[in-house]
Structure 1
C-alpha cells in the first residue's frame, strides 16, 4: 500500500509517530513531549494574538479552557470558528493545535476558539460533548466581548474533533442552539461500529488504523455502551435534515474514509449543502503535514470554504 501513497507524503513516513492508544496516559505524555520539541523548533506563533480564557461548564460540569486566536491588525467583529482538536477522543490538547489554529485565523481572516475538551477514558461521553456545548454557547453569548459576529459562527475539527463538531451540530439543531453557518469535518470520526470496508481493510496505515478506532470508541463510550446516541457517534443519526452546511474531507488510505464519504452523501440526500473532498494518495491526518503539495491543496480548500462564510 505504501507505494500508492503520494510520493511527497511517502518521503516523510519514517518521521511520523507510531500511534498506540492502548495506554492512553502514556501516549498522551509521549505526544506532549513531542509537541514541546516541535514547538521549540518552530518558534513563536506569527500573525496572531492569543487569549486564554476559561468558560463556564454546562449543568454543573467543570469550566472549560479555550484559546482564542485573532489575526494581528484585525478590527471589528469577525466570523468565528469553534475548533476541536483530534486524538481519538483520548489524546490531544490546545497546545498541540497552536500552529494549525494560528494558520486558520490568519489564512481565513477569522477568530478561532480552540476548545480543551475532556478526554476519555477518564472522562467518557458525554463529557466532551458537554464541553463543546459550553464553548459554543459561550461564544454566542459573549460574542461582543471577544469581537465575534454572532451571525457568522462555524464549528469544526479534525478526526475525533471533527466527529465532535458533527455531534455538536446535531445537538445544536435539536436543542435550539445558535445558528451555525458551517461545520468543518476533516477526516471525521463518526461511526462507533467500525465495520466499513476501509475500517476493516486498513490495519497498518500511517497515524491511524481500524484497530485504534475500535480502541478510541471503547474508551469514549465505555465497555458496555448500550444504545449509542447520535450525539456520541453522528453516523447513528437517522435524520440529517436541517443541519448546517458542511465541508467534508476524506483521505484515501484512512480507516475512516468510508464512514466520512457515507455521511457526506447522506447529508446531501437530506438537502444539506456539502462540499466534499476525497484526496487520493493521502492517509489519516496527512492534511496537516507540511511540505506536501496534496496537503497544501487540502488546507487551501478548507480555508476557502471557511473564508466564504466567515469573512
Structure 2
C-alpha cells in the first residue's frame, strides 16, 4: 500500500489530467533517445520564444572545462545590449538526461522586461553518455567565461545570479558551491526552482510519490543512476554532484528555494534551506501546497501564479541590492 501523501491542488490536478505531461515516455537507457526527441518536438525553440518578444539571441561557443573543447551559450538580451546589465545565468532541467538550453526559456522575456537582465543559458553535456562531473563542469566553465568577458557582453559581473530548475536547480546549487570553493565568480544569489539535490532516495517524499505521473521516484532514481552509475547512494558521491551531500553550506550566496508539497523533491529541498540557515546563510523557502513537480508551468492555476510572483519578488530584491 502506498503511504499517505498530500494531494494535488484541485486546479493543478485538473490541468494535469487534461495534459500529456510526461505521459507514455519510457525511462530506460534504450528509451533515452525517444525521451529527448519527445522533449525536442514538444518545446518551442529559443528563437520561437525570444523572437516575438523583440529580443536579441546570440549563440556563443566558449572554452569548456579541461579536456573539453567547447561549451555553447545562448545570450538573450534587449537589442544592442546594455552597458552593465545584471545577468541571469540559467541552467535547464531534464533529470540530467534530457533537455537543452531552450528548456525554461519561456521565463526569459519576462525577466528581461522586469529586471533589465541579460540571460545566458548554458548547454551542458547530458548523462549517461557524459556522467558526473561533465554537466556541472560545463556549467561552471560557462559561468567563468561570462564573468571574464562581462564587459564585452554588457554584463555587470558584480550582479550575476545563477538560476536553474529541477536538475538545473541542482546544478545551479553545485555551481554556487564551486564558486565558493574555487574562488570563482561572485554571485548575488542562487535561484533554485524545485531543485534535484540528493541522490540517496531516503526521504519521506520520495516514498510518497513513487508512482505518480510527474517525475516520480523511479524516474528520479533513473536520472541519478545515469549521472552517477554504481556510485549512486554510496559514500563516494561528492557535493558537486549532489549538493545535499555538502557538509558545509556556509559562505554561499542568498538562495531562493521552492518546491511543491506534492513532489519527490520536497523534503530534500526543505532540508537544504534549513541547513543553509543553520550555517548562518540566507535562504528563502517556499513549499507550495498541492504543487507537483514543475507545477508553475501551468500558469492558469492560482498557486502557480503565486509561485511565479514570489520568484519575481525575490529576484528584484537580490538583483537591486
Fold-level match, TM-score > 0.5? yes
CA distance in 1 between counterparts of 2:57 and 2:250 reads 36
Q: Counterpart in 2 of 1:21?
A: 27
1:57 matched to 2:64? The reply is yes
Q: In the alignment, which of 181, 188, 195 is matched to residue 181 of structure 1?
A: 188
CA distance in 2 between counterparts of 1:281 and 1:50 reads 36
Count of equivalent residues: 310
CA distance in 2 between counterparts of 1:297 and 1:20 reads 32
Q: Counterpart in 1 of 2:95?
A: 88
Counterparts in 2 of 1:265 and 1:3: CA distance versus 1, 3 Å: closer
Give the CA deviation at 1:43.
Answer: 9.2
Q: Counterpart in 1 of 2:11?
A: 8
1:104-155 CA-to-partner distances (Å, cap 9, x unmatched) read: 3223321111111110001110000111111110110000011110110111
Give the CA deviation at 1:47.
Answer: 4.5
Structure 2 gaps of 5+ residues are: none
Give the CA deviation at 1:79.
Answer: 0.8
Counterparts in 2 of 1:119 and 1:45: CA distance versus 1, 3 Å: farther
CA distance in 2 between counterparts of 1:174 and 1:46 reads 38
Q: In the alignment, which of 115, 121, 124 is matched to residue 122 of structure 2?
A: 115
Q: Counterpart in 2 of 1:78?
A: 85
Q: Counterpart in 2 of 1:46?
A: 53
* RMSD value, Cα: 2.2
Q: Counterpart in 2 of 1:30?
A: 38
Give the CA deviation at 1:3.
Answer: 9.4
Give the CA deviation at 1:206.
Answer: 3.6
1:19-52 CA-to-partner distances (Å, cap 9, x unmatched) read: 5432222111111111259997x89441522211
User: Please, what TM-score do these two structures have when normalized by structure 2?
Assistant: 0.90
Map 1:1-311 to 2 at 5 A: 4-14=7-17, 15=19, 16-18=21-23, 20-22=26-28, 23-36=31-44, 44-71=51-78, 75-224=82-231, 227-311=236-320
User: Please, what TM-score do these two structures have when normalized by structure 1?
Assistant: 0.93
SS of aligned partner of 2:162: strand
Q: Structure 1 residues 66-75 or 110-119, which shifts more?
A: 66-75
Structure 1 gaps of 5+ residues are: none
Are 1:51 and 1:67, in contact at CA under 8 Å, matched by a contact in 2?
A: yes
Give the CA deviation at 1:89.
Answer: 0.3
CA distance in 2 between counterparts of 1:296 and 1:46 reads 21
1:184-205 CA-to-partner distances (Å, cap 9, x unmatched) read: 1110000000110001110233
1:179-228 CA-to-partner distances (Å, cap 9, x unmatched) read: 11101111000000011000111023342101111100000011345500
Are 2:132 and 2:241, in contact at CA under 8 Å, matched by a contact in 1?
A: yes
Give the CA deviation at 1:2.
Answer: 10
Counterparts in 2 of 1:251 and 1:39: CA distance versus 1, 3 Å: farther
Are 2:262 and 2:292, in contact at CA under 8 Å, matched by a contact in 1?
A: yes
SS of aligned partner of 2:309: helix
